[in-house]
Amino acid sequence: MGGFHPALALVPIVPFMPHSPGDLGLFDPREEHRPDTLNRFEHWWATPVQFVLLFFGFANAGVPFEQIGPGTYYVLAALLVGKPIGILLFSGCASLIGARLPQGLHGRDLFVVGIAAAIGFTVSLFFATAAFPGGPALAETKMGALLSFVAAPLALVASRLLSRRAA
């Protein structure tokens, strides 16, 4: 009734959950065992959320494969081209103002991460259903989100090629 999607329900609550004063780092194994509420919440819900996202995708994907059109190509291009470019561009901007990549992570790794991030299954489906009423445009954009799974093998190939060049 308020015009907000139910998926936004926890947004005003999460910042007020008790949390640790500092971040140990993205890849620090000690991060998983911190006793604060927010960290326990994050790690406890990680696996159930993966299953919920999978079922969300299946429930919202019901589109026949013949529903391919301009919307499909726009979404697919935005994900396959826009995500890697955006990640590389903003990481470059962050490095210009003094931010550094975590130890052991290189620019070629960011490129692979950008390609893997192009898999736009759940979020793209969520926004497509929120943006379009039922009809051809919704079906086409959903198909673009589903076809973004092509990014998975592309990320694997890019990872293999870039790891060979780095060696």
- Domain residue spans of the chain: 61-166
Q: Rounded to whole angstroms, what are the CA distances from 120 to 33, 67, 117, 145?
A: 30, 18, 7, 6
- Residue pair 102/27 in contact by the 8 Å Cβ criterion: yes
**What long-range pairs does 99-105 form, CB within 8 A, spacing at least 24?**
102/25, 102/26, 102/27, 104/27
Give the mean model confidence (pLDDT) for residues 114-121. 87
Angle between helices 121-131 and 136-147 (to 10 degrees): 170
- In this prediction, residue 24 has a pLDDT band, given cuts at 50, 70 and 90, of confident
Give the rounded percent of residues in the chain with a pLDDT score beyond 90: 20
pTM exceeds 0.95, yes or no: no
- In this prediction, residue 69 has a pLDDT band, given cuts at 50, 70 and 90, of confident
pLDDT surpasses 60 at 5? yes
> Residue 32: its pLDDT value, please?
76
> Residue 96: its pLDDT value, please?
92
- In this prediction, residue 1 has a pLDDT band, given cuts at 50, 70 and 90, of low
What is the distance of C-alpha 13 from the center of its chain?
22
> Residue 58: its pLDDT value, please?
67
